[in-house]
């Protein structure tokens, strides 16, 4: 039976430009993130996020393939791929229903393995009281960090650079053993 150990739990007391956990122990089998977040990107229903490991900002070290609905003008599911950044989900922005945060999960199997590249499975949703395209969303992704280094730092941030996670956004990072 898997055991989940809280590595970090953060509830923002004020807006923050990123969620960052450093000095992650290699003593677990996998990492798992649960978050409830919202962005302050001006006049937006949703904000795109991305993540990085070990402070590696080299775009070509990351790739993602994602499947989303209602993120590009159509409620029909679409898929896309990038070889220059990670898909860290779409999260609600200030134009979405007030005080409605986006649920997010991220699974990082074998994060401390030094023989293979690191895989990431990601899910997010943007609940809203609207059926209009681009005012709600749901998505999932598979990403790859092309490094054999063990992950000891995790950073997740809104893509725009000046956007922030808002106050009361919560993040819980677990170390998972036995799964």
Place of tokens 């991220």: 106
- Say what the pLDDT of residue 72 is: 55
CA dist., res. 169 & res. 39, Å (int) = 9
Q: What pLDDT does 140 receive?
A: 94
So what's the pLDDT on residue 141? 94
Residues (pLDDT < 70) of the chain are 70-75, 161
Separation between Cα atoms, residue 107 and residue 94, nearest integer Å: 27
Domains contained in the chain, number: 1
Per the structure, the complete domain to which residue 43 belongs is given by 3-177
Per-residue model confidence as pLDDT tens digits over 82-100 = 888 788 888 999 999 999 9
The tokens for 51 are 């993540």
- In terms of phi and psi (left: phi > 0; alpha: psi -120 to 50; beta: otherwise), the region of 55 is left
Give the residue among 51, 25, 54 at the shortest CA–CA distance from 176. 25
pLDDT of residue 20: 97
Q: How far apart are CA 9 and CA 118, in angstroms?
A: 23
Residues 5 and 80: their CA atoms lie apart, in Å, by 34
d(CA 109, CA 26): 12
Q: How far is CA 50 from CA 8, 19, 80, 176, in A?
A: 19, 11, 15, 22
In the beta sheet, which residues pair with residue 108?
A: 31
Domain of residue 54, CATH code: 2.60.120
User: To which H or E segment does residue 80 belong?
Assistant: strand 78-82
């Amino acid at each position: 039976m898997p055991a989940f150990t809280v590595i970090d739990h953060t509830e923002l007391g004020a807006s923050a430009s990123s969620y960052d956990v450093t000095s992650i122990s290699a003593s677990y089998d996998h990492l798992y993130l649960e978050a409830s977040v919202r962005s302050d990107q001006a006049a937006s229903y949703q904000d795109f996020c991305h993540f990085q490991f070990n402070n590696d900002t080299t775009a070509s070290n990351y790739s993602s393939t994602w499947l989303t609905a209602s993120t590009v003008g159509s409620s029909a599911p679409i898929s896309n791929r990038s070889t220059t950044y990670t898909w860290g989900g779409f999260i609600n922005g200030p134009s979405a229903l007030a005080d409605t945060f986006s649920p997010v999960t991220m699974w990082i199997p074998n994060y401390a393995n030094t023989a293979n590249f690191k895989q990431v499975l990601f899910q997010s949703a943007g609940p809203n009281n609207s059926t209009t395209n681009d005012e709600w969303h749901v998505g999932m992704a598979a990403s790859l960090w092309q490094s054999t280094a063990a992950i000891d730092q995790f950073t997740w941030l809104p893509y725009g650079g000046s956007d922030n996670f808002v106050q009361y956004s919560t993040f819980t990072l677990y170390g998972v053993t036995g799964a």
